[in-house]
C-alpha cells in the first residue's frame, strides 16, 4: 500500500477526515458508523470505483452532464431512497466527480431532512474541491447551483487509482481549480507529488471552510475566477466544462483587477504564466458570446449582494469586491475577445 494522507476538515462536531492516496477507497467503510443498516450508493455509468460496502446497499446511477444536475434528478433519487426504505440512520455514498457529489450531497441533505453522506471523489476536480466543504446543490435553467444546502459529509475518500481512467480533459478541469489555489496561497503545487498536491489542496480548502463554513465572508475567496466561469458554463450550454471555465475566469479576473487599478500589468502576466503555461489551460474567451448577456448572467451570481460582485486580486491579496460597474467588466471582456 502506498502512502495514504489524512487531512481533517475541522468543523467542531461536524469535523471529518479526507483520506487521500492510491487504494483509499478500500477504507470507505471506516467512515460509516456501525449503526448504519443500509447504504444508497449514488454514482454514474463509467465511474470506475465499485464500493464494496459490506452492508446491504442499492446502487443509483444518475445521468452524465450538467443537465442532469437538476431538481428532477433529486426527485428521482429521493423516490428511490424511499422505495428502498432508507432511513436517517442509514447513509448515502456519492461515488463520482463533482456532479455526483453535489447531487448525492443535496439528496442526502433533503431526504428525511438529512441523512449522513460519505463522498468518494473520482475526478481530480472532485478531490481538490467539490467533495470537500459541504456545499451541495443543483442547477436551474436560470443558473448554476442556484438550489442547494450546506451539508457536510461524514468523510471523504480521494482514491488516486480512479484518476487512471479519467480523460485528459477532466484532468485539466482539476488543474483549473488547482491554479485557483495557486493564487490564493502562492504555493508551488506542481512541485509536489500527486498525493501531496491533492492533500495540500484539501488542506487549503479545509482551512478556508473551517474559518467560514456558510460563506459569510472568507469562503467566497474560493470563488476566485468563478463569477465569469459560471456565466460561461451557462452561456455555452456547458460545452465549456467547469474547470476550463474557471481557467478563463481567472484571466478575466486579473484583467478586471488591473482595469480597476488593483494590480499592475505584471500580475496579469503572472496569471497567464500560471494558468496558460504551467497548468497548460486554455485562456481564451470562446468566440461568439454576447458580453452583455455574460454581464446579466454574472449579476445573478450568488455573491452579488450589491451589484456585480467579484473576487479580485489586489494589494492585500485576493478579496471580495462588490459594486463593480458594468463598464470595467465589459472592458475586461473586450480585452479577452
Ligand atoms: N460543491 C462544491 O464545492 C463544488 C466545487 C467545485 C465544483 N463543483 C461542481 O462540480 C461539478 C464538476 O465536477 P467534475 O469536474 O468532477 O465533473 P463531473 O462530475 O461532471 O465528471 C466529469 C465526467 O467524468 C466522468 N468520471 C468521473 N470519474 C471518472 C473516472 N475516475 N474515470 C472516468 N470518468 C470519470 C463522469 O461520469 C463525467 O462524465 C460541477 O457541477 C461544479 O459545479 C462543486
The tally of CA atoms less than 13 A away on the side-chain side of residue 45 is 4
Residues 232, 44: contact at Cβ < 8 Å? no
Distance CA(124)–CA(166), nearest Å, equals: 8
215 catalytic? Reply is: yes
Q: How far is the CA of 263 from the centre of ligand 1 (A)?
A: 33
CA dihedral (241, 100, 305, 225) in degrees, to 10, reads -30
**What's the chain's length in residues?**
337
Question: Nearest C-alpha to atom 30 of ligand 1 is from which residue?
Answer: 166
Among 74, 218, 215, 82, which residue's Cα sits nearest to residue 139? 74
Class of domain 5-183+189-197: alpha beta
Q: What is the pLDDT of residue 301?
A: 75
First to last CA, the chain: 49
Q: How far is the CA of 147 from the centre of ligand 1 (A)?
A: 18
Q: How far is the CA of 33 from the centre of ligand 1 (A)?
A: 27
Catalytic option among 69, 230, 255, 302? 230
226 catalytic? Reply is: yes
213 catalytic? Reply is: no
The tally of CA atoms less than 13 A away on the side-chain side of residue 55 is 19
Residues 209, 9: contact at Cβ < 8 Å? yes
Q: Where in the chain do CATH 1.20.1090.10 domains reside?
A: 224-336
Q: Which residues of the chain fall short of a pLDDT of 70?
A: 1, 52-53, 302-306
Q: Which of 102, 120, 146 is the pocket-test mutation for ligand 1 (most atoms within 8 Å of CB)?
A: 102
Q: What is the pLDDT of residue 306?
A: 67
Q: Which atom of ligand 1 is nearest to the CA of 121?
A: 28
Q: How far is the CA of 136 from the centre of ligand 1 (A)?
A: 13
Summarize pLDDT for 226-266 with one digit per residue, the tens. 999 999 999 999 899 889 999 999 999 999 999 999 999 99
Q: How far is the CA of 101 from the centre of ligand 1 (A)?
A: 8
Q: Which of 48, 96, 143 is the pocket-test mutation for ligand 1 (most atoms within 8 Å of CB)?
A: 96
Q: How far is the CA of 331 from the centre of ligand 1 (A)?
A: 32
177 catalytic? Reply is: yes
Q: What is the pLDDT of residue 304?
A: 64
Catalytic option among 172, 180, 182, 219? 219
Q: Where in the chain do CATH 3.40.50.1970 domains reside?
A: 5-183+189-197
Domain 224-336 has CATH 1.10.1060.10: no
Query: Who lines ligand 1 at CB under 6 A?
Result: 44, 46-48, 64, 66, 69, 96-100, 102, 122-123, 125-126, 129-130, 133, 135, 144-145, 162, 165-166, 170, 173, 242-243
230 catalytic? Reply is: yes
Amino acid at each position: 500500500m502506498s502512502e495514504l494522507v489524512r487531512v481533517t476538515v475541522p468543523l467542531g462536531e461536524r469535523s471529518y477526515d479526507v483520506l487521500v492516496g492510491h487504494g483509499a477507497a478500500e477504507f470507505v467503510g471506516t467512515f460509516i458508523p456501525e449503526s448504519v443498516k443500509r447504504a444508497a450508493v449514488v454514482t454514474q455509468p463509467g465511474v470506475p470505483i465499485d464500493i464494496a460496502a459490506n452492508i446491504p446497499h442499492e446502487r443509483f446511477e444518475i445521468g452524465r452532464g450538467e443537465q442532469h444536475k437538476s431538481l428532477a434528478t433529486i426527485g428521482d433519487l429521493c423516490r428511490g431512497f424511499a422505495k428502498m426504505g432508507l432511513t436517517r440512520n442509514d447513509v448515502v455514498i456519492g461515488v463520482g466527480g463533482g456532479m455526483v457529489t453535489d447531487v448525492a450531497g443535496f439528496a442526502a441533505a433533503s431526504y428525511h431532512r438529512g441523512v449522513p453522506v460519505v463522498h468518494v471523489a473520482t475526478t481530480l476536480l472532485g478531490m481538490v474541491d467539490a467533495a470537500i466543504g459541504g456545499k451541495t446543490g443543483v442547477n436551474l435553467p436560470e443558473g448554476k447551483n442556484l438550489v442547494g444546502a450546506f451539508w457536510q459529509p461524514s468523510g471523504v475518500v480521494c482514491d488516486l487509482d480512479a484518476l487512471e481512467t479519467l480523460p485528459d480533459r477532466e484532468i485539466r478541469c482539476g488543474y483549473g481549480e488547482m491554479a485557483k489555489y495557486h493564487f490564493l496561497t502562492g504555493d508551488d503545487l506542481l512541485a509536489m507529488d500527486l498525493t501531496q498536491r491533492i492533500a495540500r489542496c484539501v488542506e487549503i480548502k479545509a482551512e478556508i471552510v473551517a474559518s467560514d463554513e456558510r460563506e459569510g465572508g472568507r469562503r467566497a475567496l474560493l470563488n476566485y475566477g468563478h463569477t465569469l466561469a459560471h456565466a460561461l458554463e451557462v452561456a455555452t450550454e456547458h460545452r465549456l466544462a467547469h474547470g476550463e471555465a474557471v481557467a478563463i475566469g481567472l484571466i478575466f479576473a486579473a484583467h478586471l483587477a488591473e482595469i480597476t487599478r488593483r494590480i499592475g500589468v505584471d500580475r496579469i502576466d503572472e496569471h497567464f504564466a500560471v494558468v496558460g503555461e504551467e497548468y497548460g489551460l486554455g485562456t481564451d474567451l470562446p468566440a461568439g458570446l454576447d458580453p452583455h448577456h455574460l454581464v446579466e448572467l454574472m449579476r445573478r451570481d450568488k455573491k452579488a449582494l450589491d451589484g456585480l460582485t467579484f473576487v479580485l486580486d489586489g494589494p492585500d491579496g485576493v478579496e471580495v469586491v462588490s459594486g463593480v460597474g458594468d463598464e470595467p467588466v465589459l472592458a475586461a471582456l473586450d480585452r479577452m475577445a
